[in-house]
Structure 1
Amino acid sequence: MNFLTVASLKEQAGEQALVAFIDCELQSRSQRQTKAGKPYLVLTFADATGSFNLNAWSDAPLFEAATLMKDGTVLRMDAQWTQNQYGVNAASIAWEVLTGEDLESFFAGDAATAEKQRRDWETICAFCSGVRDPRLHALADRFIADLGAKFRRAAAARKNHHARRGGLVEHVAQMMRTADLICSAYPELNRDLLITGVLFHDCGKLWENQYPERGFGQGYTLHGEMLGHIPLGIELVNKLWREVTDSPVSKDWLPLEPASETVRLHLLHLVASHHGEYAFGSPTLPRTPEAIALHYVDNLDAKLEMMKGAYAQANELADGIYEKVFPLPANLVAPLPAFDPPPPPLIAEKNEEAKGELF
């Protein structure tokens, strides 16, 4: 049996039919109409690695079956899978509802993804433990202790990049690695502030892009819809700041410079400005070196993740040219491979001599 994850299905499926099994959770369904007025369903399926939409036409058995299914039903689907610019398609599809050990194994998640996210979580904790400013250190500790489990379930986005359970952990860990290197190149940057800003920049997504304790369907909340992750992040930072400054240890912070209120304001500015433009939802523009750095580190990781997914999914228009995938701005061109220098002639000659001696 050829079993695929959602991510591997989207990487491998193309114009030629790919016969494979896939286990996935029905996240949602939406009824639409064709131009001829016939109803059809847009079904959203997900697993630990990502999600995809599948159309169920009114004359197909899946249409009636899916109408009766509850959201959260986990299916094992066997089909001939193809993919084009409009998404994933399935022909000759058969399915069964997962139960028992198969269901528990599905909810355990893809082993490779789980291992990567475990390592990324360790990276985040290690960077936070290295923050020297005691106020920012205490704030990060409180966040991880109180909301670590919720953090580890959240996605970095609903689509486009890191749009999977645990995707926020992957995004933040990579941003921290990049921010650390940038601080080495620009030592005038406040490393403690930038690392803490990376930790909290998307913390509102714990409500905007959250997953249940069991399952891979990204839900919706009133807080996420009515406020969005930037206002939620500002509110959370302020709440946690009040809690840590009310603790007994905070009396030792009174003589520290810069003053605690200034530190809080700079951190809030990073959360508020990280989208970089009013048009993209930031209530203010980046006004400090750390805010500029955070904005570009965030944008860089998001864009490179989008490109990685686009190369895997986009149709090849010509040799090395791939069709545009939203929200990237243009068709993609295959990246230039890294230069691999040939061995020095002397080493190559010795290798040939050694081969000759064997014979």
Structure 2
Amino acid sequence: MSDQMPDDLDLITITQLRQVANPTPQPYRLHLQVESRIEKATSSGSPFFEVKLVDAADSFIWRVFDNNPLFQDAAKLGRNAFIQLAGQWVEGKYGLEPRQVQMRMLAEDEASTLLLGDPDLSARQSADYTDIVSFVESMRDPRLAKLCRVFLERHGERFRRTGAARKNHHARRGGLVEHVAQMMRCAVALAGLYPQLNRDLMIAGVLFHDCGKLWENVYAESGFTMPYNLTAEMLGHIPLGLELVNKLWRDLLEDPSAAEWASLEPASEIVRLHLLHLIAAHHGSLEFGSPVLPKTPEAVALHHVDNIDAKLEMFRRGYASSKELAPGIFEKFSPWPVNIVAPLPTVHLPPAESVAS
């Protein structure tokens, strides 16, 4: 590791390391959490460990063989431990590989900083959450607006540490906030172009369409693991979302202020049913898990907004992490079925030359 001390090396994320890693060793340090440690054996019977290491946005497997000086240290690593790995990194046969690596446990303040994500990611998610709150505050229907506010008040902290999926898109701590914020921007833009769309219903539908994932895809309070649980496994996020919205709606009706809604049109019960329909139909087809097909303009629009944002996030991930097979052509990745191609850059015209009078 040359003459540099481990803590003098540049601190980067897993994603940043993937972007610069190559077969030539390069010195960096990473702050990581242990998601799992599995003991295996080589074909000759020698033991080794597969340690899954994660940060806010990515993960990789560290294979520690019995001839590695850190083999005994790796044997003691517990699940959810926070560590630093500092050394030379290469892009090897099985992906990222540390060489001449040194390991230490992270201090409490270092672990807390790691849980926030890298500064850019943390700033983006904070801005996204602010935008979500702003969209909710812009709603005119008092029933949908209050429902959204109560949800954020009661479940905002959990919302901010939930992933939008386990692996396909926005599969990171806080990923659901990113997904919902971008969907809201798109939904509001569509509502401005298509007056037949109910803007308030679109905003509420976006906020609640995946709210069941607060139990299906939530990250541990102090880690990057997304544990499985029996309730989510047996019901799934769509039924859980329907149940949550019905619970919040019943609570709102018990509030004295709800009496003011009795004279509103459309009636509160119709509003509730339309919102529930958006949650139930947002996957767009029965084979993808929706119990009912979209039957309103808002349901159709929400399904496509959801699908567009998920697919474009998959492209972003592919460009960042897939192998470039040829200039502008990237290797396919799960669940994308084909190689992807770099997008066409926007043309930048030179400034118009001034014409002499």
Structures share a fold, TM > 0.5? yes
Equivalent residue, structure 2, for 1:197: 205
Are 1:102 and 2:110 an aligned pair? yes
Following the alignment from structure 2 to structure 1, what is the Cα–Cα distance between the partners of residues 133 and 311? 25
Equivalent residue, structure 1, for 2:6: none
Equivalent residue, structure 1, for 2:322: 314
TM-score, length of structure 2 as denominator length: 0.90
Following the alignment from structure 1 to structure 2, what is the Cα–Cα distance between the partners of residues 37 and 287? 59
Following the alignment from structure 1 to structure 2, what is the Cα–Cα distance between the partners of residues 275 and 41? 39
How far off its partner does 1:268 sit?
Answer: 1.0
3-state SS of 2:210 partner: coil
Selected match of 1:257 from 265, 271, 275: 265
Equivalent residue, structure 1, for 2:304: 296
Q: Which amino acid aligns with 1:120?
A: D
Q: How many residues align?
A: 349
Q: Which amino acid aligns with 1:171?
A: H
How far off its partner does 1:84 sit?
Answer: 6.7
28-37 or 46-55: bigger deviation: 28-37
Query: Structure 1 pair 25/289, CA: closer, same or farther in 2 (3 Å)?
Result: same
Are 1:71 and 2:79 an aligned pair? yes
Instruction: Please list the CA deviations of residues 173-199 of structure 1 after superposition, one character each: whole Å capped at 9, or x if unmatched.
Output: 011001111111111111111110000
Query: Structure 1 pair 184/32, CA: closer, same or farther in 2 (3 Å)?
Result: farther
Instruction: Please list the CA deviations of residues 282-337 of structure 1 after superposition, one character each: whole Å capped at 9, or x if unmatched.
Output: 22222211111111111111111111111111111112111111111211111111
Q: Structure 1 residue runs of 4+, over 6 Å off?
A: none
Within 5 Å, give how 1:196-235 maps onto structure 2: 196-235=204-243
Selected match of 1:24 from 32, 37, 40: 32
- Higher RCO structure (Cα 8 Å, ≥6 apart): 1
Following the alignment from structure 2 to structure 1, what is the Cα–Cα distance between the partners of residues 338 and 26? 28
Within 5 Å, give how 1:76-225 maps onto structure 2: 76-83=84-91, 87-225=95-233
How far off its partner does 1:145 sit?
Answer: 0.8
Following the alignment from structure 1 to structure 2, what is the Cα–Cα distance between the partners of residues 243 and 22? 46
3-state SS of 2:354 partner: helix
Equivalent residue, structure 2, for 1:54: 62
Selected match of 2:246 from 222, 238, 250: 238
3-state SS of 2:104 partner: strand
Following the alignment from structure 2 to structure 1, what is the Cα–Cα distance between the partners of residues 288 and 96? 29
How far off its partner does 1:108 sit?
Answer: 4.5
Query: Structure 1 pair 184/80, CA: closer, same or farther in 2 (3 Å)?
Result: same
Are 1:7 and 2:18 an aligned pair? no
Check the 8 A contact 1:44/1:51 in 2, yes or no.
yes
Selected match of 2:51 from 43, 59, 65: 43
Q: Which amino acid aligns with 1:97?
A: M
Query: Structure 1 pair 288/58, CA: closer, same or farther in 2 (3 Å)?
Result: farther
Check the 8 A contact 2:218/2:226 in 1, yes or no.
yes
Equivalent residue, structure 2, for 1:248: 256
Following the alignment from structure 1 to structure 2, what is the Cα–Cα distance between the partners of residues 160 and 37? 35
3-state SS of 2:143 partner: helix
Unaligned ranges ≥5, structure 1: 350-359
How far off its partner does 1:129 sit?
Answer: 1.0
How far off its partner does 1:11 sit?
Answer: 2.8
Q: Which amino acid aligns with 1:175?
A: M
TM-score, length of structure 1 as denominator length: 0.89
How far off its partner does 1:25 sit?
Answer: 0.7
Following the alignment from structure 1 to structure 2, what is the Cα–Cα distance between the partners of residues 269 and 38? 56
Following the alignment from structure 1 to structure 2, what is the Cα–Cα distance between the partners of residues 306 and 104? 28
Check the 8 A contact 1:193/1:290 in 2, yes or no.
yes
3-state SS of 1:29 partner: strand
3-state SS of 1:4 partner: coil
Check the 8 A contact 1:84/1:315 in 2, yes or no.
no
Q: Which amino acid aligns with 1:135?
A: R
Check the 8 A contact 2:15/2:321 in 1, yes or no.
no
Q: Which amino acid aligns with 1:328?
A: W
Query: Structure 1 pair 269/29, CA: closer, same or farther in 2 (3 Å)?
Result: farther
**Identity, % of aligned positions:** 48
Equivalent residue, structure 2, for 1:270: 278
Within 5 Å, give how 1:347-358 maps onto structure 2: none
318-327 or 280-289: bigger deviation: 280-289
3-state SS of 2:310 partner: helix
Equivalent residue, structure 2, for 1:332: 340
